[in-house]
Amino acid sequence: MSSENEKENTFYIGLCMAGAVSAGAYTAGVMDYLLEALAEWEKRKAEPGVPKHKVQIPVIGGASAGGMTSILTSTVLNSLHIPIDKPGENILTEHPENKFYHTWVDLSQGDILEKMLDTADIKERGLVSGLNSAFIDEIAQRVVATEADRSKWRPLPAFIKPGLKIFSTLTNLEGFSYTADFGPDKPQTRKYHMSIHNDYACFELTEENIIGPNGGWVPLNLKNDLNIDLARDAAIATGAFPIGLKSRILNRDASYVNANLWLKKYLTNNPLAPGNYQTLNVDGGLINNEPFEKVRDVLYEVTGQEAKDYRDFHRFTSTVLMIDPFPSEKPKPISKLQDLMNILGLTLSSMINQMRSKPLEISDALSTSCAGQFLVAPSRIVNGPEGEQHVTGEMAIACGTLNGFGGFLSKEFRVHDYFLGRHNCKIFLRDYFTIPESALEEHVIFKEGYANANRDRFKSTKDGGYQIIPIFAEKTDYTFPQLKFKSGESWPVLEDQDIDRYKSKLKERIQAILLNVAELSGTSKFLIWAGAKIVLNRVLSNAVIRKIKKDLITWKLLRAE
């Protein structure tokens, strides 16, 4: 089959993973089941009654924890993927055989907050972040480690398009400068100088030795260790949560940046100088936390399909599948109080919201068809005094508390969210990631794929549509695993002492921050030290502990006294 015919008979799925902080555990669970479902379908395509259409993933991109997971995914594709469907007898057992689980659930130890409060980083380098970020380096090194995988190297699975594109968003603190000229003679004084700060670390998975700017995609050859260190550094940089976690340096060849699909329009008249290009970066999610429009750009390059077609279930040949543990909600009315702290908070949130707004066509934004984009987000059923309740969004995940940092308090939180991610992905593929029956009869790819299939076997139980990625009911348990945490419940619940035990480490961290937040003379340093020792660190640590407990109670993660 020619490459053009293959393109015409293939449906493409671009994966977008939103920022998530510790809720990367949820995204990991979704990805774990998604790869399992695709592999199972490929294995069973030759069986009678199974749909035969072809699905491929040509691009995976994300921000922050989603960007890290995008890079992580690229490192598991050439090895045996061992999914984890249910927890073992010991719910806290580590699973190094599964990179998604080991990276996001096991982390570098169970309750990671103790490491994050350690003051060794301040003693060594001065104050670089509110929390100790050393654990991220440990995890990132594990993400790109391929030594064990190379001995059992496998070809890319059929559901991955060769030359897979992987990217993570970055917030480049120096940014890229460009100008607008005013006046016919355009002297230097009539230039309006601007800069953009959204940046991207872009890779192309390959086993070839690619030379040159390559359209802005850095060749990532995991078999021969080509650009592995750059991929690791990009994974760390996209997750550098501002102030809380350490900012990161990233070094790239300027030719890739100049040729980048999303940057070259700014750099055409002011390209970067040849050679190494070094940037200082914070969390990619600060500016673009859900880069689904960038995933769409790559899909357009693959399919050439215009917006009017990709929104239409009868003609679309690709779609964006976004995994978002914190799906956006309708904005709430603001307080009109002209209090300084209220204005500061509203100003900051306004700036972030404006930076994250999407430059989409208004027809895309107002379209009621979701053919071109699908969303997997947290959803769980809670049995309470008033019967079953459907909880969605950040309140459905344990790691949703503390603005996503809650998962660092307890490994049990991450365990729960990983298995919820798997469970949600099963339901999503069965019931929601579908093509309507009316469109099935006209769509060239799916009509042919389902021509000799047992349609009832792969039909949604919700809307009557047919599964784009067929899943096999006889092999799939659709019930949420019976998790039993130390509280004796299926929802992880902590006790007061589980939080109070961090008071001492928290006081030490606060004192170290106060002593290093500015250059102080010997006398001033002694006065700050004495004040912190006697009053400040106790007051601040108690305030932080109260904030943590308040959030946990809101999420029903703490047994309130």
The string of pLDDT tens digits covering residues 133-185 is 988 888 888 777 665 567 788 999 999 999 999 999 999 999 998 887 776 66
CA atoms within 13 A on the CB side of 400: 24
What average pLDDT score do residues 283-296 get? Answer: 91
Is the pLDDT at 1 greater than 60, yes or no?
no
Q: Are strands 373-376 and 191-205 parallel, antiparallel or unpaired?
A: unpaired
Give the chain's largest Cα–Cα span. 84
- Residue closest to 272 by CA, chosen among 285, 289, 254, 295: 254
Question: What is the percent of the chain where pLDDT is above 90?
Answer: 58
Residue 189: per-residue pLDDT = 62
Residue 533: per-residue pLDDT = 53
Band of the pLDDT at 193, cuts 50, 70, 90? confident
User: What is the residue-averaged pLDDT of the chain?
Assistant: 87
Instruction: Convert 155-205 into a string of H (helix), E (strand) and C (coil).
Output: CCCCCEEEEEEEEEEEEEEEEEEEEEECCCCCCHHHEEEEEEEEEEEEEEE
- Residue closest to 437 by CA, chosen among 416, 407, 458: 458
Q: Which residues contact 367 (CB under 8 A, 6 or more apart)?
A: 311
Q: How far is CA 384 from the centre of its chain?
A: 31
Residue 379: per-residue pLDDT = 94
Residue 369: per-residue pLDDT = 67
Residue 2 DSSP code: -
Is the CA virtual torsion 467, 470, 475, 480 positive or negative? negative
State the residue for tokens 């390209």. 271
Is the CA virtual torsion 542, 547, 548, 554 positive or negative? positive
Band of the pLDDT at 278, cuts 50, 70, 90? very high
Is the pLDDT at 2 greater than 50, yes or no?
no
User: Dihedral of the CA atoms 224, 230, 235, 238 (nearest 10)?
Assistant: -160
Pick the catalytic residue: 111, 233, 283, 551?
A: 283
- Residue closest to 278 by CA, chosen among 304, 305, 248: 248
Is the pLDDT at 311 greater than 90, yes or no?
no
Residue 191: per-residue pLDDT = 77
Is the separation of the CB atoms in 173 and 281 below 8 Å? Answer: yes
Q: Helix-strand-coil percent breakdown of the chain, rounded to 5? A: 45, 20, 40
pTM for the whole structure = 0.92
How does 241-251 read in b/e, with b if 16+ C-beta sit within 10 Å?
A: beebbbbbebe
Lowest mean pLDDT among 432-441, 531-540, 547-556: 531-540
Is the pLDDT at 396 greater than 60, yes or no?
yes
Residue 273: per-residue pLDDT = 95
Q: How many helices (H) and strands (E) does the chain have?
A: 22, 13
How does 371-395 read in b/e, with b if 16+ C-beta sit within 10 Å?
A: bbbbbbbbbbeeeeeeeeeeeebbe
What average pLDDT score do residues 107-119 get? Answer: 85
Name which residue leads in pLDDT, 348 or 61: 61
Which SS3 state, helix, strand or coil, does residue 247 take? coil
Beta strands in 80-142 (DSSP E): none
Residue 148: per-residue pLDDT = 53
Pick the catalytic residue: 64, 133, 168, 541?
A: 64
Bridge partners (DSSP) listed for residue 249: 280
Residue 475 DSSP code: G
What average pLDDT score do residues 465-481 get? Answer: 90
d(CA 24, CA 30): 10
Active site residue 283: yes
Q: How many CB atoms lie within 10 A of CB 149?
A: 18
d(CA 281, CA 230): 14
d(CA 527, CA 443): 75
Is the pLDDT at 358 greater than 80, yes or no?
no
Active site residue 551: no
Per-residue pLDDT reduced to its tens digit, 399-439: 999 989 999 999 999 999 999 999 999 999 999 999 999 89
Band of the pLDDT at 69, cuts 50, 70, 90? very high
Residue 88: per-residue pLDDT = 84
What average pLDDT score do residues 377-403 get? Answer: 87
Band of the pLDDT at 521, cuts 50, 70, 90? low
Lowest mean pLDDT among 151-155, 271-275, 377-381, 504-508: 151-155
Is the pLDDT at 3 greater than 60, yes or no?
no
Q: How many CB atoms lie within 10 A of CB 262?
A: 19
Is the pLDDT at 482 greater than 90, yes or no?
no
What average pLDDT score do residues 278-288 get? Answer: 92
Select, from the ranges 87-101, 421-435, 500-514, the one with the highest average predicted confidence (pLDDT): 421-435
Residue 507: per-residue pLDDT = 87
Q: How many CB atoms lie within 10 A of CB 88?
A: 9
Band of the pLDDT at 32, cuts 50, 70, 90? very high
Question: What is the percent of the chain where pLDDT is above 70?
Answer: 88
Band of the pLDDT at 522, cuts 50, 70, 90? low
Bridge partners (DSSP) listed for residue 171: 198, 282
Is the pLDDT at 526 greater than 80, yes or no?
no
Is the pLDDT at 84 greater than 70, yes or no?
yes
